[in-house]
Each structure stands twice: as C-alpha cells, then as structure tokens.
Amino acid sequence: MAFNGHFGGVFGVVTPRWILVNNLENYKRIKMRKVKSTFALICVGLLFNTFGYGNKLSDPKLKQPGITTFDASHIRGSGVEVLNGYSAIPQNGVLSTFDVKLPEIESVVYFSTDKREKILDAANRVYPWVASNLKTIVTNGFNPDPTAGDPSRNGLITLLKLKNNSYLLLQGIASPNAMSHFMITDNGSLKIMLVTFGTAAVSGDIPLVAYAQGANIYDVFQQAWKSAISTKALEGRTAMRYQKVYPEMFNYLGWCSWEQYRRKISSDLLVSDMRKIEKSPIPIRWVLVDDGHQDQTGTGMEDSRLLSFGTLPETFPNGFKDIMAQKSDKIKWTGVWHAMNGQWQGLNPDHQIRELDGHLVRIKKKFKGEPMALLMPKGDSVSSWLFYKGLIGATKDHGFDFVKIDNQSRQMAFYKGMDNAVKTVAQHAQSLERAAHELSGGLINCFCVDLVSLMNTKYSAISRVSVDYLLNNENKAKSHLYQSYQNTLWMGQAVWPDHDMFHSSDKFCGRMMAVSKAMSGAPIYLSDAPDNFLEELITPLCTNDGKLFRPLAPAVPLPESVMLSALSTPQAYRVVAPLANGAAAFVVYNLISPTPAESVKTQISASDYTAAGSFIQPAVEAWKVPAEGLVYYDWYVGKGGLLNDKYEIELKGFSDRLVQLSPVVKGWSVVGCTDKYLSAIAIKSIEYADKKLKLVMGESGTLVVYNTSTVRCGSAKKIESIGNGLWKLQISDEKKDAEIEICIN
C-alpha cells in the first residue's frame, strides 16, 4: 500500500516531512526525503516492505492494527490524503486508525453529535463544539449546550484556528467503500478512524481525509470540500451547490403538517386545513404531508414498520385522493414524507410489497425488551434501486410533486455488523437520488447531517442542517439557530441549508425564525394551524403570490462568530447573506443560555461587508466597500443612514436584529422595499444617475432610498423623510415590475 501527500510512500508523492510509523511494537522516526528517480522510489518501497515500516493494517493476519501518523502540522494549501492500493479487513468495524500530528492551535470547532462515544445514529444532531483545545471537548462537565448531552468524541470535521491567525480544516470522507471520521482521545490527541462498521475486506484507492489551510475561513471549507469530491472515488457522486437544479416549488412559501400535528393526522384534518389555506390571505403554494399517513404497524419511531406504499386505512380510507382534490391555482404542489428505511424501523416481515421479496434482508432488533423482526433493502445495486424506485414511484402514482426523506443518518446502525454498512448506505443514497431525480420533482433530505448523506447528494439541492425546530422552546430555538448557521459552513458547499419548518405564532421566536429562514435561501414552510397564522410575520418573506425573496447564497457566520461558542459566551453571534444589487443582510443574535440579565453589545461595520459575498458559488472576488460608502438600515426599528465606521446595537434577552447594508452610488443608495425582510431583493434593477434614479420594483409597497437632497417621485402616493438622508416612498402602482423614477432638484 502506498500513500499520497503527507504520508509519502511507494509510488506516491514523497514529501520532506517527519512521519511516524508503527511496526506494532516499536515507533520509529523516519525522515522522508525527496526521491528523484524511479529506482530510488523502488528501493524505498523495498525497504519499507522488508523492515515493516509501511502501514501493516493491510495485513489481515494482524490481530491488532498498526498506527500511522498523519502529519497535519505543516499543511499548506488544500488536498486529499489517498491510501493507494489499500487492503484491510475491519476489526469491530474499524479498518485503520491514524494518529494526527497537529500544529499549535489557538482554538477549535469540532463538529460532532452528543453522547460521548456516539458516531452512528446521530440523526440531525451535529453540534459545533468550540473550545481552546480538543481535550476540553471530552472533559467531564464541558457542555455549552443545555439541550444536548456530552459532546461525542467522534466527529466529522475539525476546524482549527492556528497561532499564526490562519485556519486549518480537516474533513472526513465517505467514499463508496469506507468512511473516515475523527476521534478525540481522553488526553486530547486526535485520531482518524477509517471504518465500514462491517466485516468484509476493503481494497482499492481509499480517500482518507481532505484538508485545507489558509487565512480565509470560508475558503478552507470550500477547498476541502472541492478536494474531497474531486477524488476518483467520489467522482460523479455529488457536486457543488451551484451545479444542482433548485426545484421550482421551493421558490415559494409552503406548509407542513408535522410540528402542529405530529402523527395525529388524517385525510379529513388535512383536507380541512388545505381549504383554510386556500381561503387564507397567506400565499402558501405547497403542502407537505408529514409522518402519520403510512400503512404500518406500530405507532412511534421505535416500533413503526411499513406494510405497503399505501396509506393507513383507518385515517386515510381513500388514500390521498381527497388531498389531491384540494390542489388549485394557489396550492399548486403537494409533497409527502417517508423514512429512508420505508418507515422508521423498516418493513414488517408481513409486508404486502411482494415484488421486493428476495431484495430485502432481515434485521434483528428489540422493542421494549422483546425481539422485533424487520426487513431492510439489501445493499446490492439492483435491490437498492428496486426499493427506492418503488418508494418514490408510489409517491408519483399518488399524485405528489416532491418528497421529503427522513431518517437517513440513522440507517447505518441497521446494517452494522453486516458486510459493509458504509457501502450499503452509500448505495441506498445513490439509489434514492436517482429515483427522486427520475420520478419526482424535488427532494428534501432530512436527518441527513452526516458525511455519507452529503457526499451522495448527486442531484438533490436541499438538506436539513440542524436539530428540529420545536414550538415555544427557547433553549431549543437557540441551539437550532446556532447549528443551522454553523453547519451551513460545510453542508452548504453542496446544498441549500433547510432550517426546518416553524410556527409564526411561536411566542419566543416567531419573527426570529421567519428571518432566519429568509436568510437561509432554502425552503420556507410554516407549521401553524391555519387559524393561527400571523400575517404580519409571514408576508415579509415573499411576494403576493408566495414567491420567496432568496439571498444569492445561504447566510453564514462572520469569521469571528465561526469560532464563537455562542450559547455560552457573552458575545453576539453575527451572520451575513449577500443580496441583490450589492446589498448585504446581517442578523445579530443574543443566543446565550441561560439568557443573562445583562445586555450584549455589538456592531455592524464596513469591514463586515467585505465578507458578504464569501459563500456565493461559483466563487466571486471579495466584496469591497464602495468608494462612496454604505447605507445601513435597521429593519426592526425602521431607521438608518450613512454608515460611519460602525452601527452599534444592543441586544437584551433572547433577541436578534436585522440590518441591511446597501452601496452608495452617485449619491444614491437603494435600501429597497422595506415591507420585506430582505428588502433589496424586491428591487429587480437599478440605474443610477447624478440627479435621477430609475428602478424596477417587483410589487407596490414601501420603498426606502438614500440621498442627502430632497427627492420627488411621480409614482409615490406619499414621500416622507425618516432622517439621516433616508426617504420613505409609498408606491401605489399595482402593476408588477413597475418602473419608478426618483429625482432630486
């Protein structure tokens, strides 16, 4: 077996780095020097093979795997470590273990789930644990998130801020045959674990870890991801976010049954709510039927097993026919929820989908201490395809336009101890992607905050990035917001980050959730009972026909907030999203838990604007502060003006503020339609002249512009100064895409 990159090795790229190899009994330091001739390379290979200095993990006779060190202390740039010609048999599901040599660090963000030893079954619970060192994260008593258990030592991504103020990112990789993740030891050292969670031998060229080092914190995430998916093993299995088609229906406002009703749904209830939505002034354009409709045995996550691709006869006696009859010009699309396994616990052995006989494997589990037999699709490509073709095809036959697939990251645990759990689940992910691409108009991935799911999003452009939203739960809301933005840094490379549904009527954070969903650029879907919709919080999200105002890229934390333990540190957590017309939207949060009596002070500055375009794909040059400056507008207080150095903000209690920065051009700045959260996006085009401003406004409403001179406009029903050079114009033209001309004397 040969190593590329920092390991060096036979027929690989040999670099002058210190590496540590283990011959099971003795550690030896070997300084690898550049070898310039083929003969020398062969000699080095013979030396390693003869004296056992190579990775002995390829020898299936070894009872205890040897350990090799990945030297990350001198990484520059980006790349992937690939184990060339690798061969090994896993022991307890682990193929190989590698020590990681790290440079001196200032702080770390470790992306892992909770519960100390957990790696499987993480679902949608991946937390950004922030500390000054790795050991702190696995120290008893360290838990900055009151909604979570102790941090898991097993992580997906390690972000390090180095002493020289640059950043180093190490990312695990889920290839078709094996997956790597990280492990923090009790003494605070870092290891790479190469796993299958199975028993079968693995051979071939296996990518081990992606890495990137640099001064720009956003670049290291992007470069590590691009390096990972550019390997031969992952070729064609996923893509960058911008390379995927964003489904049409998710450009519009939606509604989902789950958070309001959970599994207590029926055809009659949903028909009633759809009729209320139809009559409501809220422009909801799609409805998602969530969990509770399936033909199954059992009633909860722990015992529900699928019987058929039909509906539960007691609550959906006519199937989905009555629901489909409610589709209209307004409710144009419908979607349906399914679990990745068919249902939470797979299929009941007495299922009615007989065409799958021979393509399912029996899994043994227990429920309340008693054996519970269940079936899951086999891992071969034919069986996997037939299962997901049947599942997604059935949703199409029922009349649904898209699907939401849940329970993805929990699937691995079902196959643990079989041939190769990683290979099976990766195959299922590819089959799902193909089925959704060919048989459905869209796919929302859910319970998918893991490497296998993300690295197999071949077509799908949307994935959940955090723990579930929960109604009227302040601590959960804080954790949900923090996870959503932090996980976007890595998941958002491949997908638009779904922040989950929400209640506009949430007493703690209805508006806060509405704004965060707007900043995500992903689907926005309500879950209130229709009688409880709060129109004043919902309509700023979209046009009159429900089309969402979406940023140019998902919102991500500003650089200093990436490294902030936002739930435990008395500082504001700040995020930014780029908008149309050179504007940028910022939200600052007080997420500290428990909420302190003292307020938190923060600011938005001109230098923050330069980070606004950092998450746009394909990558663009860093935004520059315009020569004439920027105008700020605080959406919540309806005030603003020319930004002089910084705009100071005070946050009291669990709260947020939405602030937009807009460029000044020829003395003008266009804030936009301030009836909408992302005001700048409501303006479709702008033409600047010294004494005249022309713009196209998508719909009539309140327009705010900046000019130090008095303005006049024939299209405005009313014009008033709101101070500091800002003018509020009431545009009454009911035409869409109205051309507005504003002049000064």
Domain ranges (residues) in the chain: 2-235, 243-342+401-422+449-541, 556-744
Contact assessment for residue 79 and residue 7, using Cβ atoms and an 8 Å cutoff: no
Tokens 């375009």 appear where?
613
- Distance between CA atoms of residues 81 and 534, nearest Å: 52
- Distance between CA atoms of residues 625 and 580, nearest Å: 15
Backbone angles phi, psi at 170, to 5 degrees: -120, 125
| Residue 618, preceding peptide bond in cis (omega within 30° of 0) | yes
- Distance between CA atoms of residues 169 and 189, nearest Å: 16
- Distance between CA atoms of residues 5 and 19, nearest Å: 11
Name 688's Cβ contacts closer than 8 Å, sequence gap at least 6: 665, 666, 668
Global pTM exceeds 0.85: yes
- The CA-CA-CA angle for residues 80, 86, 90, to 5°, reads 105
Contact assessment for residue 703 and residue 738, using Cβ atoms and an 8 Å cutoff: no
pLDDT for 44: 34
Contact assessment for residue 156 and residue 111, using Cβ atoms and an 8 Å cutoff: yes
Three-class SS state of 206: strand
- The CA-CA-CA angle for residues 610, 611, 614, to 5°, reads 120
Residue 672: how many CA atoms within 13 Å on its side-chain side?
A: 31
Three-class SS state of 48: helix
- Distance between CA atoms of residues 699 and 431, nearest Å: 42
- The CA-CA-CA angle for residues 376, 382, 384, to 5°, reads 30
Q: Chain-centre distance of CA 263, in angstroms?
A: 25
**Beta strands at 711-712 and 716-723: parallel, antiparallel or unpaired:** unpaired
pLDDT for 123: 87
243-342+401-422+449-541, which class in CATH? alpha beta
- Exposure string of 206-235, with b = 16+ CB inside 10 Å and e = fewer, is bbbbbbbbbebbbbbbbbbbbbbbebebbe
DSSP state of 308: E
Three-class SS state of 550: coil
Which residues, given as ranges, of the chain have pLDDT below 50? Answer: 1-2, 5-65
- In CATH, the architecture of 556-744 is Sandwich (2.60)
From residue 451, alpha-carbon distances to 33, 111, 120, 124, 188 in Å are: 35, 11, 11, 12, 23
Contact assessment for residue 608 and residue 652, using Cβ atoms and an 8 Å cutoff: no
Name 139's Cβ contacts closer than 8 Å, sequence gap at least 6: none
pLDDT for 486: 98
- Among residues 58, 65, 73, 57, which one has the least CA distance to residue 15? 73
Q: What is the rounded end-to-end Cα distance, in angstroms, of the chain?
A: 77
Average model confidence (pLDDT) across the chain: 92
- The CA-CA-CA angle for residues 555, 510, 144, to 5°, reads 65
- Distance between CA atoms of residues 412 and 421, nearest Å: 6
Name 100's Cβ contacts closer than 8 Å, sequence gap at least 6: 69, 70, 72, 170, 182, 189, 190, 191, 192
Angle, nearest 10°, between helix axes 421-439 and 381-398? 30
pLDDT for 14: 29
Contact assessment for residue 730 and residue 722, using Cβ atoms and an 8 Å cutoff: no
Provide Rg for the chain, Cα atoms.
Answer: 27
- Exposure string of 693-727, with b = 16+ CB inside 10 Å and e = fewer, is bebebbbbbbbbbbbeeebebebbeebeeeeebbb
Three-class SS state of 429: helix
Which alpha helices (H) appear in 306-375, and where do they start and end? Answer: 321-324
| Residue 594, preceding peptide bond in cis (omega within 30° of 0) | yes
